[in-house]
Amino acid sequence: MSGTQGVAGGGDFRPRVEKLLADILGLMGFPARLDLQDAADGSLSVALHFESGAPPGVEPGKRGQVLDSLQFLLNKMLHRPGVERRWVILGAGAHPEPRPRRDAPAQAPASAPAASVAQVAASTPAPQPARAAAPAPAAQPQQRNARGGQPAQGAAKPAQAQAPVKGAEADERTLQVEEDPAFREAVRKLAEKSASLGRFYAFAAMKTEDRARVLKAVEGVGGVKVAAEGEGRNRRVVFTPAKPAPMPKRSLLPDDDEDDVDA
């Protein structure tokens, strides 16, 4: 494979983050001034100061689905296979607080004294001798009805509970959710943009209710198909234009060049 793979924490990492964020926010129509600083947990913190107001669903100093989706997309574009990862966290109007790592081991309280082997052995109850297995109860004769004919219906086999089907996803189109006018208008504009430009878009890391709002908001918009795909945490809403158009080379984002293709 031609080309070289860099390190996420290298000297070109900050310029790449600034370039990608500027391109994405420019395409969204919400340019912002970026304030980058190193976080205490080793990640790169970015405060987004929007120049002409924040996008719908983004509130300064608070987390939200729009900001989480933008952060997810940015880290996906930065972290390529075989490259050391350094996460980027985003905040609206201020730097976000670092989130606790999921792989951090739980520490025992410092005030709890360590128990000795002798104390543990003394506190462990002695094993009880095994008891002889009780004889199986005799089979009860089937109860017959008053006329002495067939067994009564009450003696039928107990019904078995049906286990829920794993991996089944709820149909968002059938959910009844409260409509958000600002959210609906933003989603319809994105659907119209996908149809007119022939571009693919997707919403990730959304709640089931928000996916239902997206699917209801795009009803009646022609030239684009919008559907929920995937399962669990990977479920997303995809905008597929009826007439896809190729991306011009001048608008390709970094790392999308031909150097990454096997010769």
pLDDT given at position 54: 85
User: For residue range 10-68, what is the model confidence (pLDDT) as tens digits?
Assistant: 678 889 888 888 889 888 888 988 898 888 887 889 988 888 888 888 888 888 888 88
Banded model confidence at residue 194, pLDDT cuts 50, 70, 90: very high
Beta bridge partners of 202: 238
Instruction: Provide DSSP, 27-96.
Output: HHT--EEEEEEE-TTS-EEEEEEESS-PPTT--TT---HHHHHHHHHHHHHH--TTS----EEEEESSPP
pLDDT given at position 212: 92
Its pTM surpasses 0.75: no
The answer on pLDDT for 169 being more than 70 is no
Average pLDDT, the chain: 74
Question: What residue segments make up the domains of the chain, in order of their start?
Answer: 1-98, 170-263
69 closest CA partner among 211, 196, 173: 211
pLDDT given at position 190: 94
pLDDT given at position 200: 92
Tell me which H or E stretch contains 174. none
173 closest CA partner among 204, 214, 221: 214
The percent of residues in the chain predicted with pLDDT above 70, rounded, is: 62
Residue 144 DSSP symbol? B
User: For residue range 93-150, what is the model confidence (pLDDT) as tens digits?
Assistant: 888 876 665 555 555 444 444 455 455 455 556 556 556 555 555 555 555 555 555 5
Distance between CA atoms of residues 245 and 52, nearest Å: 30
Sheet holding 224-229, edge to edge: 201-203, 236-241, 224-229
28 closest CA partner among 47, 44, 52: 52
Q: E strands, 102-243, where?
A: 201-203, 224-229, 236-241
Distance between CA atoms of residues 133 and 130, nearest Å: 9
pLDDT given at position 112: 46
pLDDT given at position 215: 93
pLDDT given at position 8: 55
The answer on pLDDT for 189 being more than 80 is yes
The answer on pLDDT for 214 being more than 90 is yes
The answer on pLDDT for 70 being more than 60 is yes
pLDDT given at position 185: 93
The answer on pLDDT for 260 being more than 60 is no
pLDDT given at position 148: 53
CA distances from 15 to 23, 58, 92, 179, 249 (A): 12, 25, 20, 40, 20
pLDDT given at position 196: 93
pLDDT given at position 224: 94
Over residues 159-175, mean pLDDT: 61
User: For residue range 151-166, what is the model confidence (pLDDT) as tens digits?
Assistant: 555 444 544 445 444 4
The answer on pLDDT for 192 being more than 60 is yes
State the CATH architecture for 1-98. 2-Layer Sandwich (3.30)
Phi, psi at 133, each rounded to 5°: -65, 135
For the domain spanning 170-263, the CATH number is 3.30.1370.50
Phi, psi at 38, each rounded to 5°: -75, 130
pLDDT given at position 79: 78
